[in-house]
Structure 1
Amino acid sequence: MKSRLLIPLAAIPLCVGMVFAAEATKDATPTTAQANADLLKTLPMSDRKDYEDSKRGFIATLPNMNVKGADGRTVWTLDGYQFLQGKDAPPTVNPSLWRNAQLNMDNGLFKVTDGVYQIRGFDLSVMSIVETDHGVIVIDPLISTEMSKAGLDLYYQHRPKKPVVAVIYSHSHIDHYGGVRGVVNEADVKSGKVKIYAPDGFLEEAVSENVFAGNAMSRRAIYMYGALLPRDAKGQIDGGLGKTTSLGTVTLIPPTDIIKKTGEKRTIDGLEVVFQMAPGTEAPAEMLFYFPKYHALCAAEDATHTLHNLYTLRGAQVRDANKWWQALNTTIDMFGPQVQVVFASHHWPTWDNAYINDYLKKQRDTYKYIHDQSLRLINMGYTMDEIGDMVKLPKSLDDKWYNHGYYGTVVHDAKAVYQRYMGWYSGNPADLHPLPPVETAKNTMDFMGGVPAVIKKSRDAYAKGDYRWVAQVMNMAVYAEPNNQEAKNLEADALEQLGYQSEAGPWRDVYLMGAYELRNGIPKAPAVQTASPDTIRAMTPEMALEFLSMHIDGDKADGKNITVNWVFPDLHKQYAVSLENSVLVYNEGKLNPKADVTLTMPKDSLDNIMLHTTNLDKEVAAGRAKVDGDRAKISELLSLTDQFNPLFPIVTPRP
């Protein structure tokens, strides 16, 4: 059978002497087909409002939705998604997710209301364009410059070509600012010709999220968005918030104007904007804003057409459901009486005042319900995993399509509430210091009669449709015997069926990516990098030192004592840096008179060294950097750092 995947199938010998070839994707089992068919009967498929709203105001789209970068590489395409045009969901796709995937196919330039337009289907996120007296405001310019430029060019083909006078970043996630250089240039921002508005804390949160844990998040994002899966009914069909992520140039221009308080107003080229702060909701730094002239509310990402994440599967700080519902409650109080349209940075808008208020209330109540019910169960002594299975939305909330779990889910959102209040420990002493995964797996397999016996029992469980259990126990078999391809294949089969049944796009993607790697190994593909050049340049010296600190290998550094004075003359900043007790510590504003070495360089030189476009020797030779003292100490310090593998294993143990 010919593989549909991107990597040739491999044959891997088992330790028991047999050979099982890695396998291609499978069809839905009768159990999965029946589960999806049964679900379909419970869904309000006769409600076609979203199909109408997702097309409302359509003006035009690109004749060929295949956008390339300067190097000729495709950064965005909807090619391959044509299979979604079929009316009914195939057995390999949850019918609710199939519906969402069809809706997210609507793409192009849309009129939201007089003066407000959107570019949809050009990226995971949506870019909005609001007309002012003499120009336009761009809201959330997508992930990459190629896509934001393509979107703005399409707008200009059908509307007057007025200049961009302002950009608004609604929050600190990369899909809401990464394409900024596609719509404005930094010179205009620095001159004051263009202003960039952002919520308080935006730059710190945007930079730290994409750098500090960026390597791990980037690796996990490959799973979450199914980036390497084929686009078909057995592969990636949708990301829940949009089709998937673009692969173009990620940029960042720091904001010029910071919004700090709810109720703040700005007049941008004659157009009044009223802001509402919403920190700690969908992002640590987030805000909503209202345009009184147009009776239009931008809900950022706090109210969309899905239940959102309280915890994102790529990994990030847990979000606060309590703040989320309170923010939406404030939104209703501030703007509910007059708002006529709500648009967000994902999905399509919502119109009509009465419908909008009901929509906002039910989204508010969904987050509050998950918060309150999770806490009720926490205080009854239930554990995180139990609560994830126990919390169910009431019919009044679950009946609404926009509360369905296309991106977040009730299961992992309820677990997020537990994590936020209680942390990782269940309270059971047996969970306090368990054995690490590989040792646990080996002992468990031994207690259960060995891997071959467990595989035999697991095949019986698989035949009964008990896919969650098969995935769990086969994961332990794989950790016990990493070269056992039969165990990998069976785990992959179970994960695949779980993916086929998942309503959430990210759940489907992580299950299918796990199956993909179990069958074929880690792909030899370029890693996703969230730390773009602009992100690196936006780092403060303190952030750069923290970034260096987290690379220190504690064992290698044990017993080392290194002191460095670090001077940035262009910033008028200086730091005394010391490595002692395997910890890198820095103090700003004073130098150590007994330091081993003093390093003087402008911030640009540090940025370029971090971006690997130069090195310290070149900067010294060019006269841009200066080293006084024992230069070998710098080399010694760098020798104590680790390099992060951007494609570390996820479904198999580390070698």
Structure 2
Amino acid sequence: MRVAVHRLTDLGVSRGREYMRLIPLLLLGVATPAFATDPALEPKPASEATIAAQKAEAASLPIEDGRDLQFAQQGFVATRTDPIIRAKDGRPVWNLDAYKWMEGDAPATVNPSLWRHMTVLRHHGLFKVTDNIWQVRGFDVSNMTVIKGQTGWILIDPLTTRETAAAALELVNKELGTRPVTGVIYSHSHGDHFGGARGVTTEADIKAGKVTIIAPEHFIEETASENVMAGAAMGRRANYQFGTGLTPGAQGQMGSGIGRGVAGGEITLLTPTDTIQKTGDKRVVDGVELEFQMVPETEAPAEMNVYVPSARSFLAAEIATCSLHNVLTPRGAKVRDALAWSQYLGEAVNLYATRSDTVMSSHCWPRFGQKEVDGWLSGHRDNYRYLHDQTVRLMNQGLTQTEIAERLKAPPALANQWFNRGYYGTYSHNSKAIYQRYLGWYDAIPANLNPHPPEERGKRLVAAMGGTKKVIAEAKRAMKAGDYRWSSDLLHQLVFADPKNTEGRALLADSYEQQGYQAESAIWRNQFLTAARDLRQGLTPSIASQSVDMISAIATPLLLDSVATRLNPGIIKDRKLAINFVIPDRQEKAKISVGNSVMFSEMGAAHAAPDATVTGPRQLYLAMLFLKMPLAQLEAAGLKIEGDKAAVEALQAALDPMPAAFNIVEP
């Protein structure tokens, strides 16, 4: 949160740079173990079993008709001369040519379907979609859609970071003529669809009425819920999902299934000036009429699609892309509603298919022609409905999550549509998500109701199998036979039983790696290969922090609820505290109560006889509660504490530090 640090420094806090990790998304930075330099722990080539699996996969793929590549290249205008997009300090945050090396047939270390997919997805630049509509693609994991208004540009989804968004707009102005931005639309509440807002417009222009920002209902609440309350755990898991730290290559990262990676740089957020509440709502922005379809609880809790009547063009946001999506993303999120998802796609077919000659999404490439629009939306609709209905059918026959995932496959009519294949989501983990939405985590098998935790279970299983040598011998037999699922299961137990067993770690890394090579899903590949890297190298130092805009836009009650989740009962014990917070710059006050090892906050209320009253701008509360900055420094910066200062110190001391990295593939 570099902007927040600068503001604290401006207030006179001299040690601001020591607190650069306010509300981190990813905090890795664990020392690399000594065995990381062992040549035996370097990436391995594809095994004979993997080579055979890739050949079988290639033989089973749908017929290539060339439409995807044609659509991905259609309307190309230009791209940047310099492929490296940099931050103000010169750091590279994006490389447009990261996949320029891809030529010819798939190497044995990449699933041939994923290779084919990435050869299409790697195209980047400014593309004309139809009259007065363009997209900038490949400048981030998402697309920025550009609509020409009467006087300026209307931008839908300004990418993830300030830097990539600014570079995209720079390209637009260079190729199409410089115009001001007059409207920004956030299709939904995920960072790659709003994070670049300050790269394309300013708060001053918004306050002056020069720019309208439109978002779906509940956008701010859902943005806050996902990025703050569960932000630390979700961020660490996202490191696996998106392959953060993996280098694009034949043995490395191959995109994310619906885009490349996620751009570096600064994530920003400007608060919407207008919200859409129901399907059919219309707005006129800079002379262009826009019609909206609300699609909540699909790919995001707050999401909407955009129809441009004058261009006969429909933007399906992220409920339809070039891949089956995630009903529950591996990074973690609220479980999505696959049934509602299919129903909204059906509604889109009915409302917009016959009225549209082009269809776009906020990822991947467009499709052209009314027949393509109908077929693409209908195909996605049927895929989510089949996935939902067949999961529920098998669930009601008594099958568990894992049994359903093993059995359920897309029928050929759907699997043979390239855009329905599992480059991002998969039938396997999506069917488990649908099961979870209806029945929860428990599969009704009592042995799974109260199992031992992973470390203890690993020790007992290894002992039951006759010890470490026998587990390794059996794992090697499984790997030789190409049964990497079984070898990973065995070796996972061994590593949790004895994380210092270097042979077991190396074998588990090799086993994960081959599964990554074979995966059609880009994010499965990323997770397997990241796991292999962590086993071989330890956690790779990496920091990605939220910007001040994210925190500023989040309501104080939710921030205080987030603080409460960090109260350590071992420190606070049975102490009772009554503290009032007064926040003049927000015209807010809050009553903080601590007792029975829990913390409650009540907005708009105050203790009649508090232990202490704290008064100051909200930025200093963030420094006190999230950064845990010493009270003396905060008082020097303008925070006022009346009453028992020790009570405030006790609250602050009882808060866990912001979560840092945690292990995933070992205890």
* Common fold by TM > 0.5: yes
SS in structure 1 opposite 2:355?
coil
Q: Does 2:582 match 1:564?
A: no
Residue deviations 1:580-601 (CA, integer Å, cap 9, x gap): 1111012222211122111112
| Contact kept in structure 1, 2:458 and 2:494, CA below 8 Å | yes
Matching residue of 2:366:
349
**1:52 to partner: Cα distance:** 0.7
Query: Match for 2:643: what amino acid?
Result: G
Contact 1:250 1:532 in 2 (8 A): yes
Q: What is the distance in 2 between the residues matched to 1:616 and 1:541?
A: 20
CA distance in 2, matches of 1:301, 1:294: 20
Verify the 8 A CA contact 1:20 1:485 in the aligned structure 2.
no
| Other-structure match for 2:639 | 625
Q: In the alignment, which residue of structure 1 is the partner of 2:519?
A: 502
- Per-residue deviation, 1:626: 1.8
Post-superposition shift, 1:456? 0.7
Which blocks of at least 5 consecutive residues in structure 2 are unaligned?
Answer: 1-29
Report if the CA contact (8 A) 2:241-2:331 is conserved: yes
The letter for the 2-side match of 1:389 is E
**Residue 638 (structure 1) shift:** 1.1
Structure 1 CA distance, aligned partners of 2:63 and 2:659? Answer: 45
3-state secondary structure, aligned to 1:32: helix
CA deviations 1:410-455 (Å, max 9, x no partner) are: 1111111011111110111111111111000001111010111110
Alignment of 1:94-133 (within 5 A): 94-133=111-150
1:137 counterpart SS class? strand
3-state DSSP class of the match of 1:91? coil
Q: Distance in 2 between matches of 1:28 and 1:142?
A: 35
Q: 3-state SS of the aligned residue for 2:145?
A: strand
2:630 and 2:168 map into 1 onto residues whose CA distance is 38
1:447 aligns with 2:464: yes
Paired residues, number: 638
Alignment of 1:387-398 (within 5 A): 387-398=404-415
Instruction: Determine whether 1:526 maps to 2:550.
Output: no
Report if aligned partners of 2:87, 2:265 keep a CA contact under 8 Å in 1.
yes
Q: Within the alignment, does 1:634 sit opposite 2:652 as a pair?
A: no
Deviations 1:366-418 (A, max 9, x none): 01111101101110111111111111111111100000111111111111101
| CA distance in structure 1 between the aligned counterparts of 2:170 and 2:232, rounded to whole angstroms | 33
Distance of 1:641 and 1:88 partners within structure 2: 54
Return the alpha-carbon distance in structure 2 between the equivalents of residues 610 and 64 of structure 1: 42
**Deviation for aligned residue 1:9:** 7.9
CA contact (8 A) 1:224 1:314 kept: yes
Aligned pairs for 1:175-574 within 5 A:
175-523=192-540, 525-529=541-545, 531-574=546-589
Distance 1:162 1:82, change over 3 A: closer
Superposition RMSD in Å: 1.8
Partner of 1:77: 95
Tell whether the 8 Å contact from 1:22 to 1:519 is kept in structure 2 after alignment.
Answer: no
| Contact 2:316–2:359 (CA under 8 A) maintained in structure 1 | yes
Question: What residue is the counterpart of 2:17 in the other structure?
Answer: none
Give SS of 1:446's match: helix
Contact 2:342–2:384 (8 Å) recurs in 1: yes
Paired residue type of 2:484: Y
Give the 3-state SS of the residue equivalent to 2:515 in structure 1.
helix
Whole-angstrom CA distance in 2 between matches of 1:532 and 1:291: 32
| Secondary structure in 1 matching 2:341 | helix
Query: Equivalents in 2 of 1:447, 1:621: separation in Å?
Result: 61
Taking the aligned partners of 1:253 and 1:362, their CA distance within structure 2 comes to: 35
Q: What is the one-letter code of the residue matched to 2:122?
A: M
- SS of equivalent residue, structure 2 residue 660: coil
Structure 1 residue 80, shift from structure 2 partner: 4.3
Higher relative contact order (CA 8 A, sep 6+): 2
Partner deviation per Cα, 1:590-624 (whole Å, 9 max, x = no partner): 211122111112324334556759764344334x3
How much does 1:648 deviate?
1.1
Q: Flag the 1:342–1:613 CA change in 2: closer, same or farther, 3 A.
A: farther
Aligned-pair CA distance for 1:10? 3.5
Distance in 2, matches of 1:45 and 1:556, equals 63
Distance 1:438 1:375 in 2: 33
Q: Does 1:596 pair with 2:611?
A: yes
User: Which of these residues, 36, 59, 76, is aligned with residue 41 of structure 1?
Assistant: 59
Greater Cα shift, 330-339 or 271-280: 330-339
> Contact (CA 8 Å) 2:626, 2:658: kept in 1 or not?
no
Query: How much does 1:528 deviate?
Result: 2.7
CA distance in 1, matches of 2:547, 2:330: 21
TM-score by length of 1: 0.95
CA distance in 2, matches of 1:258, 1:551: 33
Task: Select between 605-614 and 327-336 the one with higher mean Cα deviation.
Answer: 605-614
1: distance between equivalents of 2:186 and 2:625?
26
| Deviation of the 1:297 alpha carbon | 0.7
Amino acid of the structure 2 residue aligned with 1:631: K
The residue that corresponds to 2:105 in the other structure is 88
**Hey, what's the Cα distance between the residues in 1 that align with 2:271 and 2:626?**
19
Contact in 1 for aligned 2:401/2:432 (Cα 8 Å): yes
1:16 maps to none
**Paired residues of 1:111 and 1:117 also in contact (CA < 8 A):** yes
Q: Is the 8 A contact 1:565 1:574 kept in 2?
A: yes
CA contact (8 A) 1:537 1:607 kept: no
Deviation track 1:62-109 (CA, whole Å, cap 9, x = no partner) reads 11211111111000013442331x120011100010011111110000
Task: Give the corresponding residue for 1:65.
Answer: 83
Match of 1:10 in 2: 34
Q: Which amino acid aligns with 1:433?
A: N
CA distance in 2, matches of 1:349, 1:311: 25
In the TM superposition, residue 527 of structure 1 has moved relative to its aligned partner by: 2.5
How big is the shift at 1:499? 0.3
Amino acid at match of 2:72: S
Return the alpha-carbon distance in structure 1 between the equivalents of residues 494 and 47 of structure 2.
23
TM-score (normalised: structure 2): 0.93
Matched to 1:643, the amino acid is P
Aligned equivalents of 2:69, 2:79: Cα separation in 1: 17
The unaligned stretches of length 5 or more in structure 1 are: 1-5, 13-18
AA in 1 matched with 2:584: P
Separation in 2, partners of 1:82, 1:267: 40
Cα pair distance change 1:602/1:49, threshold 3 Å: same
Counterparts of 1:576 and 1:188, CA distance in 2: 36
- Residues 478-531 of structure 1, C-alpha deviation per residue, up to 9 Å, x if partnerless? 0000100100111111100100000011000000000111112112x12333x3
- Listed one character per residue, the Cα deviations across residues 164-223 of structure 1 (whole Å, up to 9, x for unaligned) are 111000000000000000000011112221110000010111122111111111111111
Matched, 1:24 2:42: yes
- Give CA deviations for 1:11-41 in whole Å, capped at 9, x if unaligned: 38xxxxxx98751010111111111111111
Q: Report the CA distance between 1:543 and its aligned residue.
A: 1.5
Q: Deviations over 1:526-574 (max 9, x none)?
A: 2333x32111111211012112101111232221211111122333322
Aligned partners of 2:279 and 2:613: how far apart in 1?
A: 46
Please name the residue that 1:3 is paired with.
none
Residues 10 and 21 in structure 1, CA contact (< 8 A), matched pair in contact too:
no
Give SS of 1:196's match: strand
Is the 8 Å Cα contact of residues 61 and 108 (structure 1) preserved in structure 2?
A: yes
Q: Identity of aligned pairs, percent? A: 41
